[in-house]
Amino acid sequence: MPLIQSSQDYLPCEYAPPYDKSHALTNTTDIDAAPSEQELSSARAAIQAELPQDHKTTLHPSIPERTPIKFSDLVKAEHDRLASGAEKEAGIDLSRYEAQDAPPTNDTEQWRATLQQAYASSEYLESRQVNLSLLETYGKNAWLISNDQLEAILRAAEREVSQRKIELEDIDKARRDGQNARKGELEALEQQWKIGVGQMIEVEVAAEKLRLEILDKKRAGAR
C-alpha cells in the first residue's frame, strides 16, 4: 500500500505548492531569503505549466487501478431500476413461509398444497434457526477476526506513513545541512563578487576621470 508524497525541493518546504503547510517541518532554516509574493506566483505558474492537463482527474501512475466489480444480473437489473426511478417489484412471496391455515374444505388438492407450503415453512424456519445458532456461536469471533485484520492493515499503513515522514525529514535535514555547509562559501563568494563589482566601478570612474582630463588638456592645447 504505497503512499506517494511529492514535494518541490527547489523552494523552501513551507512555500512550495502544493505542499501542505500542516506537514511542513518546523525550524526550517534556508540560506536563501524568503521569496516575495510575485516570485511565489511565478514559481506556482511554472509548476502548473508542467503539470498534465488532467492531473486533477487522473490518478497517479503509482496508484493501482481499482479492481472492477462484477455484479450479477439481478443486481444490475436493480441498479437499472433505481436509475430509471421505476417502482419496486413485489419480490418474493413470503406467505409460503408463514404459518398455514387449514383449508376450509375437504378438497384433497387444497390440503396437499397447504401441506407442501407447511413443509416449506418448516424447512425455512429450521434453516433460519440453524443460521442464527451458527451466528450466535461463531459470529462474534468472525467479527473480532475481521476487526483485527482491519486494524493490522491500518497499523501497516500508519507504519508506512511514519516511515515516509522519517524519510522526508532526513531528506530535508540533509538539504538544510548541505545548505548550511555551503553558507560560508556562498557568503565569501558573494563578498568577493561585491568587491569585484566595486573595484570595476572604481576602475570605470577612474577611467572616466582620465578621459575627462585628456579632453581638458586637448582643449587647453587647442587654444
pLDDT score of 69 = 86
Distance between CA atoms of residues 154 and 116, nearest Å: 52
Task: Choose among 23, 17, 25, 39: nearest CA to 175.
Answer: 25
Q: Which three cell numbers stand for residue 216?
A: 581638458
User: Domain residues of the chain, as ranges?
Assistant: 1-86
The residue length of the chain stands at: 223
Q: What is the pLDDT of residue 21?
A: 42
- Long-range contacts for 67-71 (Cβ within 8 Å, ≥24 apart)? none
**Among 43-47, 84-88, 167-171, 173-177, where is mean pLDDT lowest?**
84-88
Cell numbers placing 54: 488532467
152, three cell numbers:
493490522
Cα angle vertex 74, ends 72, 79, to 5°? 95
Which of 84-88, 93-97, 111-115, 178-182 bottoms out in mean pLDDT, i.e. has the lowest?
A: 93-97
Is the peptide bond between 68 and the residue preceding it cis, with omega within 30 degrees of 0?
no
Summarize pLDDT for 51-60 with one digit per residue, the tens: 888 888 888 7
- Percent residues over pLDDT 90 in the chain: 30
pLDDT score of 208 more than 80: yes
- Rg for the chain (alpha carbons), in Å? 41
Contact 35, 11 (CB under 8 A): yes
Q: How is residue 31 annotated by DSSP?
A: S
Residue 148 has pLDDT above 90, yes or no: yes
Top-ranked range on mean pLDDT: pick from 26-35, 54-63, 165-174: 165-174
Helices (H) and strands (E) in the chain, counts: 3, 0
Give the distance, in angstroms, between the CA of residue 82 and the centroid of all CA atoms in the same chain.
Answer: 32
pLDDT classification of 96: cutoffs 50, 70, 90? low
